[in-house]
């Protein structure tokens, strides 16, 4: 079994487009073959993973050579970059020599070069003795970024399960403009297209106009992308011919879902996963699309909820919150060079601890309420998911963005605190009392924010996730 199996497709037809560069499947694999010849025998290679055809060719070339590839964000600062390159001990960097502080050789990637991969090279081998296919670094929100070792077997299992869930075939044209150093943009958005045989159009930047002009049948985006698409109604209406819109990496606000439904004729499918697990739950192309829920487990995936303090099972009743734990063929092979961290991330009976707080309904639908460490708020004896309060805030017509955290409180234990982008309310509801009352009516009184801060914007990472550790009350 290989990551790139032979497919009955036209290998000379346009297969991958990144910006203005177009390659057929035959051209892409020949260019990747040239890279594979250059890196064959290396223990590890880094890739300057900008939004370019060279990045696609570099990653595929490393996979063809059986050499683990480490995508490095092109905008990484010197400290982050130095940590990644030192931690993985990459021998080469594929791509442009755009960083002045490099201490390893740089191998330029020429997308016009053609060669066959070295004799005996396995195209994305998935056997038990195969090295990791990718080393993907976490965001480092709880310390220095860790290298997540992802095998080709895990990638293949995940992509095949998603192809079934989304009806994803070689007849599709996949469109996205997501970064090529994360699971969403690289594993799903590039390797997924190559495995299914669908054409890929990467728009370099995920602008509404670029999405509208791409003529895709399948679109990937994150909530920020879909929110901006909705604000450009002509572009949103141009997506009405798409077969499926997919959203991930963060919860999609209900108002955005409803606007997409109105403008395109269909609600998007939401899915859930992590770097360590790949995608584990997803809505189905022919299934229910329940706003705020990320679907049932994919085939081969098992999930459970446990109490984060006692470890006791939490019922799947659609209301009880617990830590989500996962068993699946899509799980990572461990953190690079960190056996203790790897061991700590699994339970004694072999379940991966996601660290996410979630709810599971009786029919197997999942709702993620946030990170257990930052989004499970214990206030006045209640366990409250920050995501639920955020969803209620976003249901207010004047609220554009919202983030909720728990702040230490001598009386309540934690005080529910919201940071809200709502310019029209900032003056009229200076203390947030009206907005807190709105949440109390939508949910219940004990779930209302006790403090609301109006801000100009929320801090986010490259994938659009709010950086809650960076939230600070505005100066008075």
Of 38, 34, 32, nearest to 15 (Cα)?
Answer: 32
DSSP string, 294-329: --SBPTT-EEEEE-TTT--B---SSS--EEEEEE-T
The span from the CA of 392 to the CA of 466, in Å, is 17
Tokens standing for residue 62: 């490393």
Q: What residue ranges define each of the domains in the chain, with the CATH number in brackets? A: 14-191 (3.40.50.12780), 380-470 (3.30.300.30)
Of 188, 168, 165, nearest to 178 (Cα)?
Answer: 188
Q: Which residues neighbour 410 within 8 Å (Cβ) at sequence distance 6 or greater?
A: none
Question: pLDDT of the chain along its 476 residues, tens only?
Answer: 589 999 999 999 999 999 999 999 999 999 999 999 999 999 999 999 999 999 999 999 999 999 999 999 888 888 788 889 999 999 999 998 888 888 899 999 999 999 998 875 555 555 566 789 999 998 655 567 899 999 999 999 999 999 999 999 999 999 999 999 999 999 999 999 999 999 999 999 999 999 999 999 999 998 889 989 999 999 999 999 999 999 998 788 888 899 999 999 999 999 999 999 999 999 999 998 888 899 999 999 999 999 977 889 999 999 888 999 999 999 999 999 999 999 999 999 999 999 998 999 999 999 998 777 667 787 866 668 787 788 889 888 889 889 998 888 877 778 899 999 988 887 777 778 889 999 888 777 888 899 999 998 898 876 677 888 888 776 65
Tokens standing for residue 241: 């011919």
- Pairing mode, strands 199-202 and 173-176: parallel
pLDDT of residue 21: 97
User: Which stretches within 123-198 are classed as H helix?
Assistant: 152-166, 192-196
Q: Which residues neighbour 97 within 8 Å (Cβ) at sequence distance 6 or greater?
A: 106, 108
Q: Which residue carries 């009880």 as its tokens?
A: 320
Q: Which residues neighbour 212 within 8 Å (Cβ) at sequence distance 6 or greater?
A: 232, 234, 235, 236, 238, 239
Residue 456 has a CB neighbour count (10 Å cut-off) of 8
pLDDT of residue 100: 84
Contact 168, 196 (CB under 8 A): yes
pLDDT of residue 80: 82
pTM above threshold 0.95: no
pLDDT of residue 1: 59
Contact 110, 58 (CB under 8 A): no
Of 213, 270, 219, nearest to 243 (Cα)?
Answer: 219
Q: Which residues neighbour 67 within 8 Å (Cβ) at sequence distance 6 or greater?
A: 39, 40, 41, 42, 43, 44, 45, 131
Q: Which residues neighbour 141 within 8 Å (Cβ) at sequence distance 6 or greater?
A: 467, 469
Distances (CA, A) of 26 to 12, 118, 203, 422: 6, 16, 21, 50
- Pairing mode, strands 413-421 and 401-409: antiparallel
Cα(first)–Cα(last) distance of the chain, in Å? Answer: 61
Q: Which residue carries 């022919």 as its tokens?
A: 286
**Long-range contact pairs involving 412-415 (C-beta distance under 8 Å, separation at least 24):** 412/379, 412/380, 412/450, 413/378, 413/379, 413/380, 413/381, 414/377, 414/378, 414/379, 415/379, 415/450, 415/451
The span from the CA of 215 to the CA of 81, in Å, is 36
3-class state of residue 349 by DSSP: coil
Tokens standing for residue 161: 């399960």
- Pairing mode, strands 352-360 and 322-327: antiparallel
Residue 204 has a CB neighbour count (10 Å cut-off) of 15
pLDDT of residue 374: 66
């Amino acid at each position: 079994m290989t990551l790139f199996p032979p497919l009955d497709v036209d290998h000379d037809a346009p297969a991958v487009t990144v910006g203005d560069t177009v390659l057929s499947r035959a051209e892409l694999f020949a260019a990747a073959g040239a890279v594979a010849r250059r890196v064959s025998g290396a223990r590890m290679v880094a890739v300057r993973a900008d939004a370019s055809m060279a990045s696609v060719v570099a990653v595929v070339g490393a996979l063809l050579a059986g050499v683990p590839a480490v995508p490095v964000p092109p905008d990484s600062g010197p400290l982050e970059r130095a940590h990644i390159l030192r931690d993985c001990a990459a021998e080469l960097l594929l791509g442009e020599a755009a960083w002045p502080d490099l201490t390893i050789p740089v191998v330029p990637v020429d997308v016009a070069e053609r060669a066959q991969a070295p004799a005996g090279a396995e195209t994305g081998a998935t056997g038990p003795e195969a090295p990791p296919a990718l080393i993907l670094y976490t965001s480092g929100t709880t310390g220095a970024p860790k290298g997540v070792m992802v095998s080709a077997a895990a990638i293949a299992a995940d992509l095949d399960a998603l192809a079934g869930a989304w009806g994803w075939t070689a007849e599709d044209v996949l469109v996205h403009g997501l970064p090529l150093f994360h699971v969403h943009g690289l594993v799903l958005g590039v390797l997924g297209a190559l495995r299914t045989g669908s054409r890929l159009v990467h728009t370099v930047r995920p602008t509404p106009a670029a999405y509208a002009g791409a003529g895709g049948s399948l679109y990937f985006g994150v909530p920020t992308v879909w929110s901006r698409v909705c604000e450009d109604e002509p572009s949103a209406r141009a997506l009405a011919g798409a077969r499926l819109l997919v959203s991930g990496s963060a919860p999609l606000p209900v108002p955005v879902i409803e606007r997409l439904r109105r403008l395109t004729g269909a609600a998007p499918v939401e899915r859930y996963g992590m770097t360590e697990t790949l995608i584990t739950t997803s809505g189905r192309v022919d299934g229910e699309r329940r706003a705020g829920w990320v679907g049932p487990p994919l085939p081969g995936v098992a999930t459970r909820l446990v109490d984060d303090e006692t470890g006791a099972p939490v019922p799947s009743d659609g209301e009880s919150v617990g830590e989500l734990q996962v068993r699946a063929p899509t799980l990572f092979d461990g953190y690079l060079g960190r056996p203790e961290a790897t061991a700590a991330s699994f339970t004694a009976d072999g379940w991966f601890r996601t660290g996410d707080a979630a709810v599971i309904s009786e029919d197997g639908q999942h709702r993620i309420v946030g990170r257990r460490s930052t989004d499970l708020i214990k206030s006045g004896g209640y366990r409250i998911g920050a995501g639920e309060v955020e969803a209620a805030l976003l249901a207010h017509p004047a609220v554009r963005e919202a983030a909720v955290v728990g702040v230490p409180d001598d009386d309540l234990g934690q005080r529910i605190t919201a940071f809200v982008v709502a310019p029209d309310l900032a003056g009229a509801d200076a203390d947030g009392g009206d907005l807190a009352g709105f949440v109390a009516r939508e949910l219940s009184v004990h779930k209302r924010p006790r403090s609301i801060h109006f801000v100009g914007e929320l801090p986010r990472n490259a994938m659009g996730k709010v950086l809650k550790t960076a939230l600070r009350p505005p100066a008075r």
